[in-house]
């Protein structure tokens, strides 16, 4: 099987790249800034990428647009069978979320695409399917639930109502875009998010996120190690 793993940030991907001794692919022959790596893991051909560094702003190219462009380009070029999207996210204490928790997506929504105009309303929200985690090894430790994406780290007051109404358990910035690409390409989207901050916890999100980024990235590496083992070719 060919697997594409997409991380938004270099910091999120570093521990996984090192753990598996992924080899960097250069040049990538792309106008996009992503970094691409490859490795054979348990009989699968695994490609790992991060969105790369934006050349104008010199920060990770986070958010929906670079995620969609990168995953579309690589998934089609490499003809992958599945996209795994590990990353960091905000969780909700009101729905049992804790810093460091690992969540797998059951559905993926957009919370910033408000189009109250008949059928455009559900189109905006998206409600994309995700990989059926019922197929995974029972020994893997994870929680599950609804992911929701927008291009903002911050949370606006009225968005809380959306999160409660849709029982959102993970708030992040790429899943919706990648799940959309996967839907078009008819390949499964497997979202894996580690919680760095609590949306309804009262802390300043950016501070809490930076405090927990390293631990969350380690948790992702450990989970991916177990996940890739469970996806091994027998």
Residue 160 binds ligand ADE, judged by CB under 6 A: no
Out of 12, 172, 174, 208, pick the active-site residue. 12
- Kindly indicate which of the ranges 37-45, 109-117, 170-178, 225-233 contains the residues binding ligand ADE, using the contact rule CB under 6 A: 170-178
Furthest C-alpha separation in the chain: 50
Structure tokens at 58: 């010199």
Residues of span 15-74 touching ligand ADE by CB under 6 A = none
Minimum Å gap between C-beta 155 and ligand ADE is 7
Q: Which of 34, 38, 69 is nearest to 52 (CA)?
A: 34
Minimum Å gap between C-beta 121 and ligand ADE is 22
- Of 64 and 70, CB closest to ligand ADE: 64
Cβ contact 46:228 at 8 Å:
yes
Q: Which of 66, 68, 67 is nearest to 55 (CA)?
A: 66
Indicate left, alpha or beta for 130 from its phi (over 0: left) and psi (-120 to 50: alpha).
beta
Q: How many CA atoms lie within 13 A of 64 on its CB side?
A: 19
Out of 35, 101, 197, 208, pick the active-site residue. 197
Catalytic, 12? Answer yes
Residues of span 189-218 touching ligand ADE by CB under 6 A = 196-197, 199, 205, 209
Q: Which of 45, 83, 76 is nearest to 192 (CA)?
A: 83
State which of residues 173, 179, 220, 228 lies at the interface with ligand ADE (CB under 6 A). Answer: 173
Minimum Å gap between C-beta 123 and ligand ADE is 22
Catalytic, 38? Answer no
For 136-166, letters b (16+ CB in 10 Å) and e give beeeeeebbbbbbbbeeeebeeebbebbeee
Residues of span 73-132 touching ligand ADE by CB under 6 A = 88-90
- Point out the residues that are catalytic: 12, 197
Interface ranges with ligand ADE (CB under 6 A):
88-90, 153, 171-173, 196-197, 199, 205, 209
């Amino acid at each position: 099987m060919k697997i594409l793993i997409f991380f938004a940030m270099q910091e999120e991907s570093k521990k996984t790249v090192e753990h598996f001794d992924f080899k960097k692919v250069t040049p990538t022959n792309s106008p996009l800034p992503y970094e691409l790596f490859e490795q054979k893991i348990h009989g699968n051909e695994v490609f790992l990428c991060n969105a790369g560094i934006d050349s104008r702003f010199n920060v990770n190219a986070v958010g929906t647009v670079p995620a969609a462009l990168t995953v579309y380009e690589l998934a089609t070029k490499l003809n992958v069978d599945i996209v795994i999207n590990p990353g960091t996210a905000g969780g909700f204490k009101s729905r049992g979320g804790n810093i460091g928790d690992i969540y797998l997506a059951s559905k993926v929504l957009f919370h910033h695409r408000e189009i109250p105009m008949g059928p455009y309303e559900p189109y905006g929200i998206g409600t994309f399917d995700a990989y059926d985690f019922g197929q995974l090894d029972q020994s893997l430790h994870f929680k599950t639930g609804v992911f929701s994406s927008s291009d903002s780290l911050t949370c606006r007051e009225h968005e809380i109502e959306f999160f409660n109404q849709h029982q959102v358990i993970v708030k992040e910035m790429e899943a919706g875009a990648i799940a959309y690409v996967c839907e078009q390409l008819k390949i499964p989207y497997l979202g894996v998010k580690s919680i760095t901050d609590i949306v309804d916890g009262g802390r300043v999100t950016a501070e809490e996120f930076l405090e927990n980024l390293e631990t969350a990235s380690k948790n992702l590496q450990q989970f991916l190690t177990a996940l890739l083992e469970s996806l091994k070719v027998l």
